[in-house]
């Protein structure tokens, strides 16, 4: 009976990150990319689970699994699943704190400035590289965490100008990284079970402050809710078998029409 109203719900355009979209397939995602995908996943999952709002843990599981698989595709070793989820959790908390309360402040110049700053800072790499050496060319990490020499230029590009894209998959390197990640995933499983309760508790707090509300229930709309629109999908970069330099403009800030 409530089915009809549910089908009409549409994802909100987030006041910070704009329209939710999938992860880009051929670059290492930025914080902005990850959050846009987080919002999309949260929307999809909320509809699927028929919940008021899906938990951070459920959404982050899908998001981080995909993010790690992109890193793996790029043959750049990443931190464990658990650590990547922690990184996302910390950022997600900052994001929700920025947006609470949104409605009362949204017209204030200083608040708009804070949102702009947050948005621009989100254009940096969501860096889950396992090597944290200050100079990657003088890396002292063990073999499992070391970035292969031929991938270093790509990683440095992704941390900086972001003009390159992921090309052909290095099968051998990918296999080695997958094997390592499998072991790490097994290690992190027990941690997940232990922390799930805690995270769920935190989610309950989240649920009270999250501004991105996907569920218009029958009991009337709150007129102060942010109205939403569905903008056209962003253009996808063309597939290529090689790493190629893209025009700087193509990768610029308004890549998603923000
Ligand atoms: Zn290192």
- Interval between CA 69 and ligand 1 midpoint (Å): 20
CB 54 within 8 A of CB 72: no
- Interval between CA 134 and ligand 1 midpoint (Å): 8
Q: Label residue 205 by pLDDT band (50, 70, 90).
A: very low
- Interval between CA 78 and ligand 1 midpoint (Å): 11
- Interval between CA 23 and ligand 1 midpoint (Å): 26
pLDDT at residue 101, rounded to an integer: 82
- Interval between CA 140 and ligand 1 midpoint (Å): 5
**pLDDT, mean over the chain:** 76
Calculate the dihedral angle through the C-alpha atoms of 118, 47, 22, 129, rounding to the nearest 10 degrees: 70
Per-residue pLDDT at 66 exceeds 90: yes
Read off the pLDDT of each residue in 230-236 and give the average, rounded to a whole number: 46
Q: Label residue 184 by pLDDT band (50, 70, 90).
A: confident
| Residue 188 vs residue 200, higher pLDDT | 188
Per-residue pLDDT at 4 exceeds 80: no
Its pTM stands at 0.65
Element (H, E) at 223: none
pLDDT at residue 51, rounded to an integer: 79
- Interval between CA 135 and ligand 1 midpoint (Å): 8
- Interval between CA 129 and ligand 1 midpoint (Å): 9
pLDDT at residue 29, rounded to an integer: 98
- Interval between CA 51 and ligand 1 midpoint (Å): 43
| Residue 101 vs residue 227, higher pLDDT | 101
Read off the pLDDT of each residue in 11-33 and give the average, rounded to a whole number: 91
- Interval between CA 245 and ligand 1 midpoint (Å): 26
Nearest to 50 by CA among 9, 109, 94, 106: 9
- Interval between CA 160 and ligand 1 midpoint (Å): 18
Q: Which two tokens stand for residue 68?
A: 């790690």
CB 75 within 8 A of CB 170: yes
Terminal Cα distance for the chain, rounded:
37
- Interval between CA 132 and ligand 1 midpoint (Å): 5
- Interval between CA 172 and ligand 1 midpoint (Å): 20
Per-residue pLDDT at 86 exceeds 50: yes
The phi, psi pair for 42, rounded to 5°, reads: -60, -40
**Model confidence over 121-178: pLDDT tens digits?**
999 999 999 999 999 999 999 999 999 999 999 999 999 999 999 975 455 566 677 7
Q: Which two tokens stand for residue 7?
A: 């089908």
pLDDT at residue 193, rounded to an integer: 54
In the 8-state DSSP scheme, what is residue 91?
H
- Interval between CA 126 and ligand 1 midpoint (Å): 17
- Interval between CA 130 and ligand 1 midpoint (Å): 7
Q: Which sequence spans correspond to the domains of the chain?
A: 11-211
Residue 182 CA to residue 112 CA, distance in Å, equals 43
pLDDT at residue 211, rounded to an integer: 40
| Residue 30 vs residue 11, higher pLDDT | 30
């Amino acid at each position: 009976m409530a089915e009809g109203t549910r089908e009409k719900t549409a994802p909100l355009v987030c006041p910070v990150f704009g329209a939710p979209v999938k992860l880009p397939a051929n670059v290492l995602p930025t914080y902005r990319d990850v959050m846009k995908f987080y919002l999309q996943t949260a929307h999809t999952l909320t509809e699927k689970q028929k919940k008021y709002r899906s938990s951070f843990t459920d959404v982050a599981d899908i998001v981080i699994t995909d993010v790690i698989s992109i890193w793996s595709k790029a043959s750049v070793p990443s931190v464990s699943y658990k650590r990547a989820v922690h990184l996302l959790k910390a950022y997600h908390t900052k994001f929700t704190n920025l947006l609470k309360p949104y409605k009362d402040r949204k017209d204030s110049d200083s608040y708009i400035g804070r949102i702009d700053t947050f948005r621009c800072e989100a254009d940096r790499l969501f860096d889950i590289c396992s090597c944290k050496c200050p100079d990657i060319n003088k890396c002292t990490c063990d073999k499992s965490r070391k970035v292969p020499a031929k991938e270093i230029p790509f990683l440095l590009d992704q941390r900086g100008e972001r003009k390159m894209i992921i090309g052909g998959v290095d099968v051998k390197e990918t296999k080695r990284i997958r094997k390592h990640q499998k072991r790490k995933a097994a290690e992190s499983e027990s941690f997940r079970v232990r922390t799930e309760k805690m995270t769920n508790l935190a989610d309950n707090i989240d649920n009270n402050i999250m501004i991105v509300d996907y569920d218009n229930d029958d009991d009337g709309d709150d007129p102060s809710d942010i109205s939403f629109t569905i903008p056209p999908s962003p253009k996808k970069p063309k597939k290529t078998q090689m790493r190629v330099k893209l025009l700087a403009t193509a990768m610029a800030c308004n890549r998603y029409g923000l």
